[in-house]
Amino acid sequence: MDVPILYEDNHLLVVQKPVNIPVQGDNSGDKDLLTYLKEDIKYRYQKPGNVYLGLVHRLDRPVGGAIVFAKTSKAASRLSDQVRRNAMGRTYYAVVHGKPKQPSNRLVDYLYKNRQKNIVSIVSKNHKEAKKAVLDYTVIASKDGLSLVSVQLQTGRPHQIRVQLAGMGTPIWGDQKYGQQYSQVGQQIALWAQSLTLEHPVKKTILTLESPLPTTYPWDIW
């Protein structure tokens, strides 16, 4: 597993998650990123016993890009608090079909997750299991029937970006789940965690870590 390290010190580990790798163990039984990184730390630093690595936030399995882990329980607690307070900036890039009607906008929807089918739907806010989902997007460029969009999450709901962008009529290129009518089997979803901005849990400095966008189609249009 090739996992580029974007930043590391005694408290944090920020890496570029490979696509199609689960962040943590799931029913597939495939090797997950968290387990791999623990093994890597143990090997690189010759650590005896178990290695602590705290999961702070997640990325969907097909999505790649920047993700942060905590190397101490104190860092895990403080970073998790940043996520809870929406104080951790998370910017994603997506290639979508079509062109959003507004060049930039805030999307506010209510989402329901069917856990048995692992599918998220937009529902009425009166739905008993509805969770409010908010994101801001900006269209960066459009070409060949596709648009490159920057997305900033204001909430962290499962499949949120994929569902909300599809909900406004511009599904993400290659999304087999929420853009089936546009996608072909085998296409890699064009959604990428481009950057993270966070307060260092100990030093209190502001860190912005960027993960370079893929160079394959459809990213290479721009």
pLDDT tens profile 150-201: 999 999 899 999 999 999 999 999 999 999 888 888 899 999 999 999 999 9
The answer to whether 13 touches 71, Cβ cutoff 8 Å, is yes
Catalytic residue positions, numbered: 60
CB 177 within 8 A of CB 162: yes
Summarised one tens digit per residue, pLDDT across range 99-155 is 999 999 999 999 999 998 999 999 999 999 999 999 999 999 999 999 999 999 999
* Percent of residues, the chain, with pLDDT higher than 70: 100
pLDDT per position as a tens digit, 28-56: 778 999 999 999 999 999 988 899 999 99
Answer whether 99's CB lies under 8 Å from 134's CB.
no
Cis amide prior to 158 (ω within 30 degrees): no
Helices (H), the chain: 33-44, 73-84, 160-167
Tell me if 140 sits within 8 A of 192, measured CB to CB: no
Question: Residue 201 in 3-state DSSP?
Answer: coil
pLDDT of residue 147: 98
